[in-house]
Structure 1
């Protein structure tokens, strides 16, 4: 995990939790002169647009004072949604039995993209069943992972 992302998490998770929400995860995408900071919040009763606006205002105030991001950036606050991104081993374990798409930072077994059923976690690895093969994918090698919604 990058030092910048860790710094942002240390700064923003307490803000989100103080407002009564759970910080599901944070993404920071540095895109040259303009970056994107996305904060996912969750709550047992759901997340409203007003909740996102409240968290956005508070997070913006903290970011304005601390100024951790040089240059222009966009702050987005949203719920994880039905295709929720997965950030931690605990999140992968909680969604065992669900379909997921996972993209790795570097290829494994000749591929970077996997789609299958989450079987759980073993140590620091996510266990993903793809057809008749189980893959152990180290969490720190996962670039992005998210649930595939069922309709």
Structure 2
């Protein structure tokens, strides 16, 4: 159900984003405690500001009221993805080559299911990561279809 709502929201949202030249990062419909949240994450080159989030929120809220795809009450949140922006599409991996990333896998590679390091390249659906293993720097190639979750990472 929540995936259907996210997909319907994306369809309602896309014309608004096209008009404002904004990029959809993610739509998540999830329950926290007893409340439901529809969270929309947006971005653009140079970052998105609170005014743009407000405009999208108003326009999307009107469209959601018209179409009414969600039964019951929920909270709508429109925001930037923040510094740990999720990497959802193959294009995201290409765009953020050279950045620090966190990747969680569906199944282990070299006995590991999680990697944090620098995204060296993304080519032929394979992400190449340089990461620290104790005192050594290692590289791993991760097929895109094995990635369960990925986002930019802040490494201290």
User: In 2, are the aligned partners of 1:128 and 1:137 still within 8 Å (CA)?
Assistant: no
Instruction: Spell out the pairing of 1:56-135 with structure 2 (5 A cutoff).
Output: 56-104=57-105, 106-109=106-109, 110-131=111-132, 132-135=138-141
Kindly name which structure, 1 or 2, has the bigger radius of gyration based on alpha carbons: 2
Q: Alpha-carbon deviations, 1:111-142, whole Å to 9, x = none?
A: 43221211222333433333413131425x43
Aligned residue for 2:102, secondary structure, equals strand
The CA distance in 2 between the partners of 1:137 and 1:35, in whole Å, is 34
Match of 2:144 in 1: 138
Match of 2:12? 11
When normalised by structure 2's length, the TM-score is 0.76
Consecutive unaligned residues of structure 1, counting only runs of 5 or more, are: none
Residue deviations 1:62-105, cap 9 Å, x none? 1121222233322211123322222211111111111101223x
Instruction: Measure, in 1, the Cα distance between the counterparts of 2:29 and 2:104.
Output: 16
Residues 142, 60 of structure 1: CA spacing in aligned structure 2 closer, same or farther, 3 A cutoff?
farther
Q: For residues 138 and 46 of structure 1, do their structure 2 counterparts lie closer, same or farther at Cα, with a shift above 3 Å needed? A: closer
* Paired residues, number: 147
Provide the C-alpha distance between the structure 2 equivalents of 1:137 and 1:51, rounded to a whole number of angstroms: 35
Q: d(CA) in 2 for partners of 1:28 and 1:8?
A: 9
In structure 1, the residue corresponding to 2:23 is in which secondary structure? Answer: strand
Distance 1:100 1:73, change over 3 A: same
TM-score, L = length of structure 1: 0.78
The answer to whether the 8 A contact 1:129-1:135 is kept is: no
Give the direction of change, closer, same or farther, for the CA distance of 1:70–1:142 in structure 2 (3 Å limit): farther
1:27 maps to which residue?
27
Distance 1:123 1:6 in 2: 27
